[in-house]
A and B are shown apart, each in its own frame.
Chain A
Amino acid sequence: AQSVAQPEDQVNVAEGNPLTVKCTYSVSGNPYLFWYVQYPNRGLQFLLKYITGDNLVKGSYGFEAEFNKSQTSFHLKKPSALVSDSALYFCAVRALFSGGYNKLIFGAGTRLAVHP
């Protein structure tokens, strides 16, 4: 089955420390991977995506993500966390189905808490 897993419900990190939010996926064909962030009672904001090419993708607000094909992972990273990074983060993968139908499959989300 095509799916996305975010194994951690919550990640806690001290301000200034590096952060990692984990994501693994299972999809038929080439993976198109996305990270979104959601602040309380708001819509999702696009952070970055992996299509092809360089395994390290740089995105908005200093975030980056590392694509690892052998581990089927797409972990979100930031070298130095800010308190304002505290939010809910979603990983998503584009999945293809029969008949040309495709959709985004979202993980359950990981809550990032950055402490001063």
Chain B
Amino acid sequence: DGGITQSPKYLFRKEGQNVTLSCEQNLNHDAMYWYRQDPGQGLRLIYYSQIVNDFQKGDIAEGYSVSREKKESFPLTVTSAQKNPTAFYLCASSIQAGVLFNEQFFGPGTRLTVL
């Protein structure tokens, strides 16, 4: 999972709560991404950031928010507006978003469960 850390590993949320998932990278990558993984559906893009202080919505951004105040950090907040947040969340980074052949490196993931 080299160079990308996510915390916590497991997170439990009560209905109506906002929770924040941490993602930190020490790879000096410009671009960072958040994905949601559900069984049998592959990975779906929530938000991405190509550079500090800039981020864009992905395919399923509703109910989520992000910030990118530092190059190495890209926290994801799951708000109470997200109706079905139970999933495995993966953070990733790549050297530059605009270079199409760059692979993404993934963190170990956070499993969020709504109680």
**Contact size range, B:** 20 to 34
Q: Which stretch of B13-21, B61-69, B70-78, B99-107 is in the interface?
A: B99-107
Across the interface, do B58 and A103 meet the contact criterion of CB distance under 8 Å?
yes
Q: How distant is the Cα of A56 from the Cα of B36 in the complex, in angstroms?
A: 31
Chain A contacts to B: CB under 8 angstroms: 9, 32, 34, 36, 41-46, 49, 51, 90, 94, 96, 100-104, 106-109
Residues from chain B with a CB closer than 8 A to the CB of A44 are 43, 90, 92, 106
A90 CB, nearest partner CB in chain B, Å: 6
Closest B-chain residue to A96, C-beta based?
A: B100
Other-chain contact of B109, A43, A96, A107 (Cβ < 8 Å): A43
- Given A32-B101, A46-B105, output 9 extra A-B contacts at Cβ < 8 Å: A32-B100, A43-B1, A45-B1, A45-B106, A49-B101, A49-B103, A51-B101, A94-B101, A100-B98
Say yes or no: A43-B106 contact (C-beta < 8 A), given A51-B101, A102-B97.
Answer: yes
